[in-house]
Amino acid sequence: MATRGIDRGVLSDAAAHESFLRYQRFRWFKIAGVVSLVCLLIYLLVDVQPRHNGGSWLGYALGTIGAGLIVWLALLGIRKRAMTRGRWSLKGWTSAHVYLGLALIVIGTLHTGFQLGWNVHTLAWVLMMLVIISGIYGISVYAILPQGLSDSRSEMTGPQMINAVSQLDKQLQHAAQPLSDSDSAVVVGSLGQDPFGGSAWRRLTGNYPNDPNRAALAYMRDRLEEVPVKQQPAVEQVVELLEKKAAALSRLRGYIQRRGLLEVWLFVHVPLTFVLIAALFAHIISVFFYW
Amino acid sequence: MAFLLRNISLSAEGREIVRTSRVRDDLIKVGRDPGNDIVLNDLAVALHHATLEQISATQIGVSAEAGLTVEIDGVTTQGGQINSLSGGTIKVGPFLLRILGAEMGSEDVAIDVARADTDADEEKFDTRRFALATTLPGKRTLAWSLAVLVFGVFLAWPIYSYWSQRTGNPEQVAAGYHADQLWSSGPLSRGHASLENNCTACHARPFESVRDTSCASCHTQVHDHADLNRMQQAGPQLGAWARFQRAAANVFGQTPGRCVDCHTEHEGAQQMLPTAQQFCSDCHTDLNGRLPDTRLGDASNFETQHPQFQPSVLVRWDGDTPVTQRASLDRNPREMSNLRFPHALHMNATGGVAQMGRRLSAQYGFGQQLECRDCHTPTPDGTRFQPVDMEADCGMCHSLAFETIGGVVRTLRHGEPRQVVADILSFARGNRVPADLGGGPRSRPGDVNQIRAAIQFAQARSAASPRAMSAVRQAFTPDGACGECHQVQMPASGFDYQIRPVAFPVRYMLHGWFDHRPHQNAQRPGRAMITGSQACLSCHTANASNDATDLMIPNVASCRDCHGGETTRLPVPSSCAMCHDYHMDEGVPSQLLRQQVRGRRWTTTVVRAQPQQPPGRGAAPGTR
């Protein structure tokens, strides 16, 4: 990390990094908070008979605000491609995106009047909540994980980590030459292994059952006591290399896992935003189709 | 015969290094073991992997060891042959053994040995593969496929369902799943549960809010509470907040006065709540202030503010047509039924009426004195009473019989005064039949006799004997059989007696509901439970009425002995909706109907619980 070791206190305010969350002393946090409170207050004051629902005047009003917000929030996907400064800087826009997105929990949920069911309307609400929750997750992991990400790499870059595995593979290839065919087949299993192998689930959980390298290591350790004395040094070397490779793989996979955890929210947040807009459209059409 | 081996490898800079060796043999071994002729240093190659053998001048045989394979010219196999003149390739593990076509005049078979290209390895170590994206479908693919799925299931399918319901065969359409239910925001109320699968019953046209006509297609008996403009005028003065809400609702097309304004749907399988008193009193508490021309009195709470009853009373006659008019009981209106009937006389426990009743008790089941039910018959539903029928309800005592012939009682015809006159005259004549008509000896011939017989016959026929005429007059005098109960219009001359028509209103309260059935057993606060005539008399003071014009409708004060407002210390909390219906004038108020549907039975008045039997008396359950 470039800033590591630097005393942050010596940086002037102007130079200090202001995250989009703290933008303009939490301006959008305050605005979103006020909007949410006002909505909640009106919700409590208005006596809708027999109970609150999306079809009351307040329900329509909240729904209109919510739908407008959803469309505007989704526009960040376009807006982010143009980095600008000033009052409507991308940072300000992003800050508003985060806090107004959170306010949408209040607006959208009050719009439902807490009437949920198995229908297109609740589908839209659920999708909205999934998008918001994935966004909250995204911000949270960005706040927590990057430190661990750099730690997990042991000051290595990605190519270096791969190279380490690759080098170990070459050494294994060489060291295993004297092994018998059946032994070498096991080592080949480790060599043939794709260090990036495994589904998205494996990457995110960091759980790799049936790992060929681990299997090879276990096998070769057992073989240590069985092979003829002549072959023992070769086997010992192979075991040592397999152990090194296991550590390299573990480091690599830890990094992949953290990166996956950092990236996975976008695979929910972005596609579900579009699905949400589709469901929102169906919701609005249906409401007025059967007005 | 020899193999010429060219071992080609790449330096770190990518330069080719070629090492050449010659094996003078017609059989060479290929494998990882250093003892082989061609040593391939890769673990994918077995220690001894394959053998190449010169079979003939032009053929080279290739055979892999048991359980191993090689690739000859791209085909994975255990063994095969290669023409040494045209050449070929053998792939062993990652290595490629290329057999070059033999040069003219040379017997050597040249073989290039090199490691095959390792594209796969390069891909394996592609740093882009750190990204999670390499293991997931693209965001765009996800977004489009799911969005299309949502559109299809939640928009296209329901719209298709809507059109198929409109255009399809109704019976086929009625059954089966309708996808437009995916749009239902919640279950319908219990009353409308049968419409759950029939969205178009209410949502008749797309993009048009539910109209009152949809409701009225089933609810044919309801009408508006009042003129919409007058209702808006009658409404309470709205505060600023309420006015804002009204305006906001108007922006979204939610104008007041529509059925769905009050009768909201899709709020869950609930039942309609009892109408709160406040719902009525909002406008009716001081209606006169905002609607000066209204004829309705202000009302907010039956116990504290309710106008005196204004029953519809038969106040006069227009010729033979009864004229009813609403009149406040405070003005003590009289009922002009044209009957003469003293209730008190009939209810007297000791008088002649009671005595007569006792005499006829075996025949008609009378008790020690007449009871209300002896003359008044309830309607089948028990709500109110049928008009009194002379023959059935009075005729037990007030007999119109005038003679018995062979055990058959002849009676005067009620309701037909001219027939009555004729019957009386006929009766008088029948008692003095002329001799000549009696079948006596034949009369002598001659004009005189004939004329006398004709006169006698005419006299008998006319029956206008002084006695007969007296009998007729007697019947129509105020003490006579007819005049006793009826008002008689005397004829100027002759026998054209007329009875004034009689009418009874069956229902007095046209804008309020009263059911006699729950009042059959009554218990006023602090008094004993009463039934039968006592229950009737506790409201209708018939035992003190000597005139048929007495209107014995109980007033508000009488009802207030038991009925209070919505919340009250009196035994019967009574909101407006107990007697009044918002949408209907006649029939049972819908609130009572709903209560009946939900199991409440109106056979007795609600009375406070009677004290239980003291414990210890009678066998307790389980101790028998």
Domain ranges of chain A: 16-150+265-289, 158-263
Neighbours of B370 (CB within 10 A): 24
pLDDT higher than threshold 80 for residue B335: yes
Stated as kind and residue range, the H or E segment containing A246 is: helix A232-289
Question: DSSP per residue over B135-197, as a string?
Answer: GS--HHHHHHHHHHHHHIIIIIHHHHHHHHHHHS-HHHHHSS--GGGGG--SPPPGGGGGGTT
Cα angle: B4, vertex B5, B8; to 5 degrees: 145
Q: Searching chain B, which residue's CA lies closest to the CA of residue A194?
A: B124
Separation between Cα atoms, residue A66 and residue A72, nearest integer Å? 10
- pLDDT for B122 equals 54
Residue numbers of the domain that contains B495: 401-436+451-499
Q: Which residue in B135, B182, B252 is closest to A203 by CB distance?
A: B135
pLDDT higher than threshold 90 for residue B85: no
Separation between Cα atoms, residue B49 and residue B40, nearest integer Å? 9
Instruction: Tell me what the mean pLDDT of segment B558-580 comes to.
Output: 90
Q: Are residues B406 and B364 in the same domain?
A: no
Backbone φ and ψ for B569, nearest 5 degrees, come out as -90, -10
* Domain final residue, candidates B64, B86, B117: B117
Nearest-Cα distance to chain B for A81, in Å, is: 17
Q: Searching chain B, which residue's CA lies closest to the CA of residue A190?
A: B43
ipTM higher than threshold 0.90? no
Q: Which residues of A touch B129 (CB under 8 A)?
A: 196
Residue keyed to tokens 């009437």: A115
Separation between Cα atoms, residue A90 and residue B342, nearest integer Å? 98
Which region among A64-78, A156-170, A229-243, B491-505 has the lowest average model confidence (pLDDT)?
Answer: A156-170
Largest CA distance in chain B: 186
Contact B183 A264 (CB under 8 A): no
Each residue's pLDDT tens digit, B501-525: 998 888 898 888 898 988 888 888 8
For chain A, positions 111-130, list CB contacts with chain B under 8 A.
115, 117, 119-121, 123
* Beta carbons within 8 Å of B563's beta carbon, 6+ residues apart: B302, B303, B570, B572, B574, B578
Distance between start and end Cα atoms, chain A: 58
Q: Searching chain A, which residue's CA lies closest to the CA of residue B211?
A: A291
Instruction: Tell me what the mean pLDDT of segment B122-130 comes to.
Output: 68
Looking at chain B, the number of H-run helices and the number of E-run strands are 20, 20
Residue B416 lies in a domain: yes
pLDDT higher than threshold 60 for residue B616: no
Q: Which residue in B43, B130, B267 is closest to A259 by CB distance?
A: B130
pLDDT higher than threshold 80 for residue A268: yes
> Is B278 an 8 Å CB contact of chain A?
no
Tokens of A180: 């018998």
- pLDDT for B430 equals 67
pLDDT higher than threshold 80 for residue B553: yes
Contact A256 B182 (CB under 8 A): no
Instruction: Tell me what the mean pLDDT of segment B273-296 comes to.
Output: 88
- pLDDT for A225 equals 84
Q: Which residue in A162, A270, A290 is closest to B139 by CB distance?
A: A270
pTM metric for this prediction:
0.71
> Interhelix angle for A232-289 vs A181-191, to 10°?
40
pLDDT higher than threshold 90 for residue A62: yes
Nearest-Cα distance to chain B for A195, in Å, is: 7
DSSP SS3 for B129: helix
Tokens of B156: 């296209």
Tokens of B390: 């002379």
Q: Are residues B354 and B431 in the same domain?
A: no
Separation between Cα atoms, residue B365 and residue A163, nearest integer Å? 117
Separation between Cα atoms, residue A17 and residue A142, nearest integer Å? 15
**B121 or A3: which carries more pLDDT confidence?**
B121
Contact A282 B154 (CB under 8 A): yes
Residue B439 pLDDT level (bands cut at 50, 70, 90): very low
Residue B292 lies in a domain: no
Strands B572-573 and B563-564: parallel
For chain A, positions 93-112, list CB contacts with chain B under 8 A.
none
Q: Are residues B432 and B354 in the same domain?
A: no
Contact A115 B159 (CB under 8 A): no
- pLDDT for B617 equals 36
Tokens of A219: 């096998």
Cα angle: A150, vertex A151, A157; to 5 degrees: 45
- pLDDT for B432 equals 55
User: How many whole angstroms from its chain centre is CA B275?
Assistant: 17
Q: Which residues of A touch B133 (CB under 8 A)?
A: 263, 267
- pLDDT for A200 equals 87
Distances (CA, A) of B508 to B321, B501, B554: 17, 19, 11
pLDDT higher than threshold 90 for residue B445: no
Each residue's pLDDT tens digit, B20-30: 888 888 889 99
* Domain final residue, candidates B117, B136, B152: B117
Backbone φ and ψ for B255, nearest 5 degrees, come out as -80, 145
pLDDT higher than threshold 80 for residue B446: no
Q: Which residues of A touch B245 (CB under 8 A)?
A: 46, 57
- Provide the number of structural domains found in chain B: 3
Sign of CA dihedral B610, B616, B622, B624: negative
DSSP SS3 for B479: coil
Which region among A87-101, B168-182, B601-615 has the lowest average model confidence (pLDDT)?
Answer: B601-615
Nearest-Cα distance to chain B for A250, in Å, is: 14
Which region among A148-157, B178-187, B351-360, B370-379 has the lowest average model confidence (pLDDT)?
Answer: A148-157
Q: Which residue in A117, A174, A194 is closest to B186 by CB distance?
A: A117
- pLDDT for B600 equals 63
- Please state the length of chain A: 291
Residue B494 pLDDT level (bands cut at 50, 70, 90): confident
Backbone φ and ψ for A182, nearest 5 degrees, come out as -70, -35
Determine the residue type at A134.
Answer: S
Residue B69 lies in a domain: yes
- pLDDT for A131 equals 95
- pLDDT for B481 equals 86
pLDDT higher than threshold 60 for residue B297: yes
> Is B514 an 8 Å CB contact of chain A?
no
Q: Searching chain B, which residue's CA lies closest to the CA of residue A186?
A: B43
Determine the residue type at B207.
Answer: F
- Check: CB of residue B577 under 8 Å from CB of residue B588: no
CATH code of the domain in which B73 resides:
2.60.200.20
Each residue's pLDDT tens digit, A215-233: 899 988 888 888 788 888 8
Residue B573 lies in a domain: no
Contact B41 A177 (CB under 8 A): yes
Residue A11 pLDDT level (bands cut at 50, 70, 90): very low
Q: Which residues of A touch B210 (CB under 8 A)?
A: 291
Instruction: Tell me what the mean pLDDT of segment A77-86 comes to.
Output: 76
Tokens of A155: 């000051």
Interface test with A, best of B32, B33, B36, B43 (most A CBs within 10 A): B43
Residue keyed to tokens 């602090």: B526
Separation between Cα atoms, residue B289 and residue B173, nearest integer Å? 54
Q: Which residues of B touch A163 (CB under 8 A)?
A: 125
- Check: CB of residue A198 under 8 Å from CB of residue A208: yes
- pLDDT for A10 equals 44
Q: Are residues B41 and B96 in the same domain?
A: yes
> Is A41 an 8 Å CB contact of chain B?
no
Q: Searching chain B, which residue's CA lies closest to the CA of residue A163?
A: B125
For chain B, positions 10-39, list CB contacts with chain A under 8 A.
32
DSSP class of B254: -
pLDDT higher than threshold 70 for residue B602: no
For chain A, positions 204-263, list CB contacts with chain B under 8 A.
204, 255-256, 259-260, 263
| CA nearest to B548, candidates B608, B457, B476, B486 | B486
Each residue's pLDDT tens digit, B212-256: 888 988 888 788 888 888 888 888 888 888 888 888 888 877 788
Q: Are residues B428 and B349 in the same domain?
A: no
* Beta carbons within 8 Å of B76's beta carbon, 6+ residues apart: B69, B70
Contact B264 A194 (CB under 8 A): no
| CA nearest to B441, candidates B453, B454, B457, B455 | B453
Separation between Cα atoms, residue B404 and residue A118, nearest integer Å? 83
Residue B61 lies in a domain: yes
> Is B159 an 8 Å CB contact of chain A?
yes
- Check: CB of residue B376 under 8 Å from CB of residue B385: yes
Tokens of B581: 């219906």
Residue keyed to tokens 């019947």: B475
Q: Are residues B475 and B427 in the same domain?
A: yes
* Beta carbons within 8 Å of B120's beta carbon, 6+ residues apart: none
Separation between Cα atoms, residue B375 and residue B382, nearest integer Å? 15
Q: Which residue in A120, A191, A277 is closest to B43 by CB distance?
A: A191
Distances (CA, A) of B484 to A34, A44, B339, B402, B542: 87, 73, 9, 16, 19
The answer to whether the peptide bond before residue A50 is cis (omega within 30 degrees of 0) is yes
Separation between Cα atoms, residue A278 and residue A123, nearest integer Å? 11
Q: Searching chain A, which residue's CA lies closest to the CA of residue B134?
A: A200
Instruction: Tell me what the mean pLDDT of segment B180-199 comes to.
Output: 88
Contact B139 A267 (CB under 8 A): yes
Separation between Cα atoms, residue B576 and residue B555, nearest integer Å? 16
**A105 or B231: which carries more pLDDT confidence?**
A105
- Check: CB of residue B88 under 8 Å from CB of residue B80: no
| CA nearest to A187, candidates B42, B32, B43 | B43
Interface test with B, best of A47, A51, A57, A184 (most B CBs within 10 A): A57
Separation between Cα atoms, residue B89 and residue B112, nearest integer Å? 9
* Beta carbons within 8 Å of A149's beta carbon, 6+ residues apart: A255, A258, A259, A262
Q: Which residues of A touch B127 (CB under 8 A)?
A: 158-159, 162
**A9 or B495: which carries more pLDDT confidence?**
B495
Nearest-Cα distance to chain B for A106, in Å, is: 20
Interface test with A, best of B130, B166, B214, B259 (most A CBs within 10 A): B130
Which region among A59-73, A92-106, A111-125, B271-285 has the lowest average model confidence (pLDDT)?
Answer: B271-285
How confident is the prediction for chain B on average, in pLDDT? 83
User: How many whole angstroms from its chain centre is CA B571?
Assistant: 31
Distance between start and end Cα atoms, chain B: 121
Contact B183 A278 (CB under 8 A): no
Stated as kind and residue range, the H or E segment containing B358 is: helix B352-359
Distances (CA, A) of A134 to A131, A187, A190, A215, A289: 5, 42, 37, 37, 32
How confident is the prediction for chain A on average, in pLDDT? 85
Instruction: Tell me what the mean pLDDT of segment B535-555 comes to.
Output: 92
- pLDDT for A33 equals 95
Residue B365 lies in a domain: yes
pLDDT higher than threshold 70 for residue B621: no
Q: Searching chain A, which residue's CA lies closest to the CA of residue B251?
A: A57
pLDDT higher than threshold 70 for residue B615: no
Question: What is the layout of strands, in order, in the sheet containing B38-39?
Answer: B38-39, B27-31, B50-54, B59-64, B79-83
DSSP SS3 for B52: strand
* Domain final residue, candidates B117, B141, B166: B117
Q: Searching chain A, which residue's CA lies closest to the CA of residue B243?
A: A46
DSSP SS3 for A44: helix
pLDDT higher than threshold 80 for residue A5: no
Separation between Cα atoms, residue B177 and residue B356, nearest integer Å? 73
DSSP SS3 for B496: coil
Burial A77-115 (b: 16+ CB within 10 A, else e): eebeeeeeeeeeebbbbbbbbbbbbbbbebbbbbbbbeb
Contact B139 A271 (CB under 8 A): yes
> Is B262 an 8 Å CB contact of chain A?
yes
> Is A187 an 8 Å CB contact of chain B?
yes
Contact A55 B129 (CB under 8 A): no
